[in-house]
Structure 1
Amino acid sequence: MEPKAHHVIIGLFTLAVVSAALLFALWLGKSSADREWAYYQIGFDHPVSGLTKGNPVLYSGIQVGDVLDLTLAPENPANVRVLVRVHKEIPVRVNTKAGLVLANITGSMSIQFTGGTPESPILEGDRENPPLITAEPSTLSNLLNNGEAMLSQAEQLLTNMNRLLATENVENITVLLRNTREATDSLLANRDTLIELLAKFDSAAVRAEEAAIKVSGVSDNTRSVLNDRVVPVLNAMDVALSTLQPSLERVDKITSSNEHALDAGLQGLSQLDPALRELRRTLRNLNAFTRRLEQDPSGTLWGGTTIKEFEQ
């Protein structure tokens, strides 16, 4: 009888535990059914891999609802519409933002609401006409969606690296490195010559600088001479020319007003030329007579030869 009593106690305890669990589940279901919900539709213009029905809806990291349905947009199958329900008391506002976040390491995704200022009006959402909230693309979703393109680019990069490291290219690179090493060794072998050449260049640069300084000094001296001596002379010449200008103008005026008198005077001068020639001839004869008189006074006075005329 004693073993049977133990089995009865165990059976009663098991029945009590199952009944309590059923009652708790019924209470939880009734509590969930009695809770008021607000319904919203989240619009995605990119794939939503990892998001399924029942996934949680978060607000600033705290679960406030879950995903009810996922459908493609009728007007554009590239877009996705996700119907979610959120606790009625959670204030989802017009400027509240929605996006995808990673739920766990298995790749499951959740929808998260963020933002929303108190000044913005609250979105009233019901099951029959849920308001549309456009989701913002997240960095993680972009990374997952662009993973295939990144892998393709990585594959292309590896292919190009393989081409670059082909046998011919490796041999060319080896030759190039060998030539570079030989050139470096040659430079090191002629290091003293290069140092001496650089020293000569440095000395030439110093002399060029000194010559430039001297040229600059000569230029300064030339400028000083021009300013101190040439410029005053030019200024004096300018003053003299400005002073002479009125005299030249008066001479030109006198010349123009006495043009006829000057012409007559020039004609008179042309008539003086024959008289001047006769006068010179007479003076030559007188000179000859005077010399002969000094040499032979008696012969000249008392019957000597006649005086000859000397033509010029």
Structure 2
Amino acid sequence: MNPRINYTLVGGFVIALVLVGLFFIGWLTKDNRNADRLLYKTYFYDSVSGLNERAAVKYRGVPVGYVEKISLISDPTERVRLMLRLDSDLSIRSSTYATLQYQGITGLLFVELQSTAPQGDVLLTSEKTPATITSQGSRLVEMTEKIDQAIQNFNQLTHSLNNLTQQLSVLTDQTVQQQLVDLLASLEQLSITAEQRLNAFDPEVYQQTARQLPIYLEQLQNNFTKELQQMGQQLQHLSEDTQASSRLLSPLLLQAETLAEQLRLESNTWLRGNRTQPAGPNQ
């Protein structure tokens, strides 16, 4: 008889063997330095396009860590913050600065650490308060950005040239050309007419008029002043005559008033006359 085969045990053994193999491979490829790496931070004010998390951090070309996190900070100014994991045996000093560099021709970026001088205080860092590494703009990145800007300007120039070509093609149309010819002819005719009018204008007449105008204005002013003086004199004479007439009129008014009073008192006399009444029979 053939012994029975337990497929469950066989499958479990295979799975366990695979897990052990994966664990062994992971143990071999594990970077034990991560547990000993310290946390730092740096800030960039330029674009970090092409830089990814887990990107390499190198010191003078030697890998010393990686980028752990990339975040955008806007307080107090807008900037990009990079959290770096660096080897604990690496001396990060106050003279150390970080730049962005291109990795080959892939277009990807990595962080390059350099130091202006070996002297300087060592930066103390911790998980809660990571030390800040100063940053500088990369000349290669700046040159690349300038090249991109130049390409954009060139594209705009090409677009402008295309528009100019289209406009020139419109100007070559027969109708537009005829309109331009008519416009130039009208301008020429206008110029000739203006020149003729300027030639017909006599400056001597204008100068003579300008010389006589003050004299005429002065005469007009003198005549107007004389008229005003004569009018004033006539008004004064009229006032004097009015006063004399009022003085002569006053006695006449008194006499008229006296006459009216007499007429009122002697009204019966005027009505009956001076005849006397006849005597009665007993008289």
TM-score range, shorter chain: 0.3 to 0.5
Choose 1 or 2 for highest CA Rg: 1
TM-score (norm 2): 0.48
TM-score (norm 1): 0.44
More helix by proportion, 1 or 2? 1
